[in-house]
C-alpha cells in the first residue's frame, strides 16, 4: 500500500515543528495550515479540495478544542486526521448486494486503469467468501482483453462468459445481457461485467458503457481509476460520472509511487465512495477501502 512518501514526510515535518512549540499562537496555526496546503498541492490534490480541507482545519485549529487542549499540537494532528478521514469518505462503504441475486457489478474506466485485473481480484475475494461470481467479458476493444479475463478467471477459480457465436460476438451490450442471463440460469450469485476503456476519455466508449449499464441495470457501477494519474484523475472521474455515472470508486496502483492526489480528491469531487483499493498486479493485492486506515497511513 502506498506510503504517500512525500506527502507523509511533509506532514510529519510540519507536525514535528508544531510539537516543539507547546502553546500555539494564531500565527503558528496559520503557518502550519500553509505548510499543509503546500504539501497537498504538491501531492496533486485538487485545488478546491485543498481549499476546503485547509479551511476546515484552520477554523477548527483556531477554536477552543486546540486552545484548551493539554497538548495543542497533538490536537491539531488529531483534527487533520479527522478531516482526512472525512475527505476520504468517513465510514467504510461496503459493496451493495442485490435483494434478488445475482448482484451485478459493472466495471468502467480508462484502458490500463486495471479493470480486467480488478475483475479477477473481486472474483477471488467474493469466492473466498463463499460466493459464485461469473465474469463477463464485454471489453471487445482491446485485442487481448477477453483472453486476459479468461486467464484471471482461471487464476481466481471462477467461471467466465465470453463472446462466441450465440453469445453476441462483437456486440458488448448483447454479451452483457447474455452473460447476466447465463448467471441467472446457472445460479451464480454475482456477475462482474468487464467493459472496454480507451486511452483517453472518448464519446463512443462512454456511450457503450452507458448502453451496457442501461441493458443490465447493475447494482454497482465501479469506476476504476489509476491512482498514479495525478491531476488528470478529477477530469477523468467527472467525465465518467457524466457519461456513465457510477456508484463507487476503486483506486488501483496504490502500491506505486502515488502522490496521493487522486485518493484524496476523488470522493469530494464526485461525491461517490471509494469501495476498494488495488495494491499490486497479483489477484491477492486488493482490499476493501477503509478511510480511517488510509488517513493513518498518510499521517504515519
Ligand atoms: P484495463 O485495461 O483497465 O483492463 O487494465 P488491466 O487490468 O489490463 O491492467 C493494466 C496493467 O496494470 C496491467 O499490467 C496490470 O497488471 C497492471 N495493474 C492493475 N492493477 C494494478 C495495481 O494495483 N498495481 C500495479 N502495480 N499494477 C496493476
Q: Which three cell numbers stand for residue 73?
A: 499540537
| pLDDT score, position 169 | 83
Q: How many residues does the chain have?
A: 300
User: Is the minimum distance from the CB of 248 to ligand 1 under 6 angstroms?
Assistant: no
What is the percentage of the chain residues whose pLDDT exceeds 70? Answer: 99
List pLDDT tens digits, range 54-113.
Answer: 999 999 999 999 989 989 999 999 999 999 999 999 999 999 999 999 999 999 999 999
User: Is the minimum distance from the CB of 109 to ligand 1 under 6 angstroms?
Assistant: yes
| Residue nearest to ligand 1 atom 9, measured at CA | 114
Give the span between the Cα atoms of 83 and 119, in whole angstroms: 32
Indicate the pLDDT class of residue 143, thresholds 50, 70 and 90. confident
Q: What pTM did the predictor assign?
A: 0.95
Q: Which atom of ligand 1 is nearest to the CA of 142?
A: 2
| pLDDT score, position 45 | 93
Q: Which region holds residue 92: left if phi is over 0, alpha if psi is between -120 and 50, else beta? A: beta
Q: Which distant-in-sequence residues (6+ apart) come within 8 Å of 237 by Cβ? A: 223, 225, 249, 266, 269, 270
Residue 144: exposure state from Cβ atoms within 10 A (0-12, 13-18, ≥19): exposed
Q: Which three cell numbers stand for residue 282?
A: 497479483
Q: Which atom of ligand 1 is nearest to the CA of 252?
A: 23
| pLDDT score, position 22 | 83
Q: Which residue has the higher pLDDT, 180 or 233?
A: 180
Indicate the pLDDT class of residue 209, thresholds 50, 70 and 90. very high
**3-state SS assignment for residue 220:** strand
Question: Is residue 208 part of an annotated ligand binding site?
Answer: no
Amino acid at each position: 500500500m502506498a506510503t504517500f512518501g512525500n506527502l507523509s514526510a511533509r506532514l510529519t515535518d510540519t507536525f514535528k515543528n508544531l510539537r516543539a512549540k507547546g502553546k500555539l499562537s494564531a500565527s503558528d496555526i496559520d503557518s502550519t495550515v500553509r505548510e499543509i496546503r503546500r504539501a497537498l498541492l504538491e501531492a496533486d490534490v485538487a485545488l478546491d479540495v485543498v481549499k476546503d480541507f485547509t479551511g476546515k482545519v484552520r477554523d477548527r485549529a483556531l477554536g477552543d478544542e486546540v486552545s484548551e487542549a493539554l497538548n495543542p499540537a497533538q490536537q491539531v494532528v488529531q483534527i487533520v486526521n479527522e478531516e482526512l478521514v472525512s475527505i476520504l469518505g468517513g465510514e467504510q462503504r461496503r459493496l451493495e448486494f442485490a435483494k434478488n441475486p445475482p448482484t451485478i457489478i459493472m466495471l468502467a474506466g480508462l484502458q490500463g486503469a486495471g479493470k480486467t485485473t480488478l475483475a479477477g481480484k473481486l472474483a477471488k475475494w467474493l469466492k473466498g467468501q463463499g460466493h459464485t461470481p461469473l465474469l463477463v467479458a464485454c471489453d471487445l476493444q482491446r485485442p487481448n482483453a477477453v483472453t486476459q479475463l479468461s486467464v484471471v478467471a482461471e487464476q481466481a477459480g471462477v467461471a467466465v462468459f465470453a463472446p462466441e457465436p450465440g453469445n453476441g460476438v462483437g456486440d458488448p451490450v448483447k454479451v452483457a445481457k447474455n452473460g447476466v442471463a447465463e448467471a441467472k440460469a446457472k445460479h451464480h450469485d454475482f456477475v462482474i461485467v468487464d467493459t472496454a476503456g480507451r486511452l483517453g476519455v472518448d464519446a463512443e466508449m462512454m456511450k457503450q458503457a452507458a448502453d451496457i449499464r442501461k441493458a443490465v441495470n447493475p447494482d454497482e457501477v465501479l469506476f476504476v481509476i489509476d491512482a498514479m494519474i495525478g491531476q488528470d484523475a478529477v477530469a477523468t472521474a467527472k467525465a465518467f460520472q457524466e457519461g456513465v455515472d457510477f456508484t463507487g470508486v476503486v483506486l488501483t496502483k496504490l502500491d506505486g509511487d502515488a502522490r496521493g492526489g487522486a485518493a484524496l480528491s476523488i470522493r469530494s469531487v464526485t461525491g461517490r465512495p471509494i469501495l476498494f483499493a488495488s495494491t499490486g498486479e497479483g489477484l491477492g493485492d486488493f482490499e476493501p477501502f477503509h478511510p480511517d486506515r488510509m488517513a493513518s497511513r498518510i499521517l504515519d
